[in-house]
């Protein structure tokens, strides 16, 4: 029985857009200051989860809120099941938006808001797709489970908790990347490197780095960095102030500099935000600011911190200077992003790295190499989190089915892709990332003025509807 999935999606366009604007207006950035029982990642994330579950209930599904960590919307009673895994949490917004990030704006056929592309737009499109399948009355032989996560952008604690309470489907997709199909995802290593504070205070009158702050998300390229510098010799700070404009121009960026009433120099540098899986397309404000400071005679822990940022990490996107460089045919080169950078005289320095290693490379071997390199540099590894890579062979039924659906809808070959990004697809042993970004479209995930083309969301909805049906029939 052939169904006109495109037509069925088109009929829901107005209702979908109205729903999407309400959904995108919820600020669901993790906020631990409002966390409480049942809202482990804060009030906004809980509100976005509740929004989806309330919709599911109203549309006649079985729904469950798993202690605020995750949600389930499902239908069908078969023992076999397929999964659609989405997330409602968001990365922080940064500066410079044309319209406020939580006041969704439609311009030139695009909808702009934080989460439009990653991942609320596609999450709602795939939910609508599930509705299309349910309302079609077509017979299915598998249960369809729509699973909503709440901590995808940070530590995936939502999925850890979910697995303590429920099982996950083994086959399915996550609409949180690109079309045609991503069947290989890099693994991640997230270490925090530390430099201890100086055991004795530097001599009076010398140049001091009082504080350095850049970035607040490991998996984003920092777009702002602020350093506060003091010196007993005002002429040194005046010289730095005089050299600042030329440096900013040379680095093709923008910045601010001023000597405050306290006599300290405050430097603010702006970079370009990008997803941590593609650090080479952003401009890291933190490591760039360190390049300016590197020209001056800091001592002790401040010197170690600045030189690590400027000499080792600045624009070392593929970890060559870190000694971790490698690549494979399935997923390409290892990448590294310096995402959270902090220094103070009292605390010393901290650097959170986000390393993404190729899908077929040994994680353990890369971690061992990292530990050796950190020891060589005289640093300490304060924390190390990692996640495995993921790979579904091209002849697997889920890859074959989704390839066919994609080709039927687009008339284009379903080329198999790999990604540096991690999606919930890897939570399913045979899960793949599937859309919503079509070939040739720019990815604005994690960037200022994030958007998605409305027509692309509607096309994706039709593709997702047929995909859910084909996997579950």
- Known catalytic residues are 89, 152
Going from the C-alpha of 403 to that of each of 146, 185, 396, 427, 461, the distances in angstroms are 21, 17, 11, 20, 16
414/420 Cα distance (integer angstroms) = 19
Give the residue from 220, 219, 189, 192 showing the smallest Cα distance to 388: 189
DSSP state of 98: S
Quote the tokens at residue 29.
Answer: 């950035």
How far is 171 from 407, CA to CA, in rounded Å? 20
Phi, psi at residue 208, to the nearest 5°? -125, 140
* Phi-psi label, residue 332: left if phi above 0, alpha if psi -120 to 50, beta otherwise: left
**What are the angstrom distances between the C-alpha of 119 and each of 89, 431, 439?**
8, 17, 18
Pairing, β 177-178 against β 332-333: unpaired
**Residue listed under structure tokens 């047929």:** 466
Q: Do residues 454 and 126 make contact, with C-beta atoms less than 8 angstroms apart?
A: no
Cα–Cα distance, 45 to 43 (Å, whole number): 6
Rounded Cα gap, residues 13 and 276, in angstroms: 33
């Amino acid at each position: 029985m052939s169904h006109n999935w495109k037509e069925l999606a088109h009929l829901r366009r107005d209702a979908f857009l109205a729903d999407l604007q309400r959904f995108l207006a919820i600020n669901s950035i993790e906020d631990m200051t409002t966390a409480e029982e049942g809202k482990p990642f804060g009030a906004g994330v809980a509100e976005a989860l509740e929004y989806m579950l309330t919709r599911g209930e109203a549309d006649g599904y079985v729904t469950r809120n798993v202690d605020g960590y995750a949600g389930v919307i499902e239908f069908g009673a078969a023992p076999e099941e397929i999964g659609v895994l989405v997330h409602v949490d968001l990365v922080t917004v940064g500066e410079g938006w044309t319209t406020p990030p939580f006041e969704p704006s439609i311009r030139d056929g695009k909808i702009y808001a934080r989460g439009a592309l990653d991942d609320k737009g596609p999450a709602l499109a795939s939910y609508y797709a599930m509705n299309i399948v349910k309302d079609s009355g077509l017979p299915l032989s598998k249960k369809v489970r729509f699973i909503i996560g709440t901590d995808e952008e940070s530590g995936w604690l939502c999925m850890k908790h979910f697995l303590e309470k429920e099982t996950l489907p083994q086959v399915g997709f996550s609409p949180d990347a690109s079309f045609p199909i991503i069947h290989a995802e890099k693994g991640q290593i997230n270490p925090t490197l530390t430099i201890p504070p100086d055991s004795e205070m530097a001599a009076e009158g010398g140049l001091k780095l009082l504080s350095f702050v850049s970035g607040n998300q490991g998996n984003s390229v920092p777009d702002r960095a602020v350093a506060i510098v003091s010196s007993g010799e005002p002429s040194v700070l005046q010289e730095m102030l005089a050299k600042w404009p030329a440096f900013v121009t040379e680095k093709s960026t923008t910045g601010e500099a001023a000597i405050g009433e306290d006599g300290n120099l405050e430097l603010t540098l702006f970079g370009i935000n990008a997803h941590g899986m593609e650090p080479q397309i952003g401009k890291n404000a933190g490591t760039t600011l360190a390049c300016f400071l590197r020209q001056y005679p800091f001592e002790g822990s401040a010197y170690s911190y600045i030189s690590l940022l400027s000499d080792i990490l600045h624009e070392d996107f593929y970890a060559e200077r870190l000694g971790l460089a490698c690549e494979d045919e399935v997923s390409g080169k290892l990448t590294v992003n310096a995402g959270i950078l902090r220094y103070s005289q009292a605390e010393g320095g901290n650097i959170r790295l986000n390393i993404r290693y190729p899908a077929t490379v040994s994680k353990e071997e890369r971690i061992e190499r990292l530990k050796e390199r950190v020891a060589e540099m005289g640093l300490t590894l304060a924390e190390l989190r990692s996640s495995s890579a993921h790979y579904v062979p091209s002849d697997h039924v889920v890859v074959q089915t989704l390839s066919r659906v994609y080709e039927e809808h687009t008339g284009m070959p379903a080329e198999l892709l790999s990604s540096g990004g991690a999606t919930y697809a890897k939570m399913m042993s045979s899960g793949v990332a599937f859309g919503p970004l079509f070939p040739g479209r720019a990815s604005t995930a994690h960037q200022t003025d994030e958007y998605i083309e409305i027509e692309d969301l509607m096309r994706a909805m039709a593709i997702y509807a047929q995909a859910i049906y084909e996997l579950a029939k």
